[in-house]
Structure 1
Amino acid sequence: MKLVILDRDGTINEDSDEFIKSPEEWQPLPGALEAIARLNHAGWHVAVASNQSGLGRGLFDLSALNAMHAKMHKMLAAVGGRIDAVFFCPHTPDDRCSCRKPLPGLFEQIGERFGVELRGVPAVGDALRDLEAAAAAGCEPHLVLTGKGAAWRGQALPAHAPAGTRVHADLGAFADHLVARPVAPR
């Protein structure tokens, strides 16, 4: 199975320091939905791994999160794309759970759900914690320079970034990279 794991806020949709709290606030980044559709059409299954501490902070509830994801799925379907599964951590940093990125718990849940070994599975995010969680799970880390990743435009990644991290302008550039490369046997 060809599987890719994506972060949500800052990778697929606009991010906000005030949190994305409603379907109205959930706005896709330019070209991101089309990039997911290109991945799907090339045979890739797409899962999302997203910290959603706004739930634990009481900023929005599960019905609001579900409505955001319903909007995302509907907009994706309109461009011929799909996300196969959305995994999220509802905890705050103080909860010390194993599913909050930079820990690998969400990735491990995805591996279990899909029945795949995560070694070498491409994982994309806009923050170092996304890359750290991906690397801890054995995934291949990819940084997009959107959302929080925009701070790294024109700069070298810090020394503590996971080894082998690949950098892309946005999700569209990542999709082009992934679709163009030959698939290695696993």
Structure 2
Amino acid sequence: MTVIATYPTRAGHVVEVHQNAIGGYSDHCTGCDTRDFSDDIPAAEAEAAMCRGAEYHARHCERLNVGPFTPTPTDMEASHYGFLVASLDPDYADGHLIAIGPDLTARRAVAAFHAYMRTELDDYSRTLLVEEMRVGSLVVQIAPTRFIRGRYSWSATPGYPGGAPAAWLIAPGLLY
């Protein structure tokens, strides 16, 4: 399939319109990962179909409340020392913990991470993370971050220009 057009939605997503070999099209919203396949619409009608698709995705994304957002206390797991802290999926390659808040520094983030580990993690997990921090296997790095709300959860992308500053507990060198 070939991308023949893209258009933004009100939710801040980008919808890609793909054309297949038989002249039909499909559109894919990159923000909420929904697809609308309409292979029976000829390429000549694709422009009108794209307009209908834009309206559909705008309504769909707003109904799901997906897209870029700034995390609130209900999105994160805890609040320590004025920072919102959450753990990341263990299989997520970009880090273990993340913190956001005003006047974010690495030193203040470490304090919030330690408080989080004391109150939210079991002894084994806490011991592993503290040891990895002690030997330098995990470090705190602050990076501009884009937060995206999906249908069932949210994700964070470090190094996103213009994103909110966030502290990541991460292996050295993964962000810079």
Query: What TM-score do you get using the length of structure 1 for normalisation?
Result: 0.25
> In proportion to residue count, which structure has more helix?
1
| RCO higher in structure (CA 8 A, sep ≥6) | 1
Over alpha carbons, which structure has the higher Rg?
Answer: 2
Query: What TM-score do you get using the length of structure 2 for normalisation?
Result: 0.26
> In proportion to residue count, which structure has more strand?
2
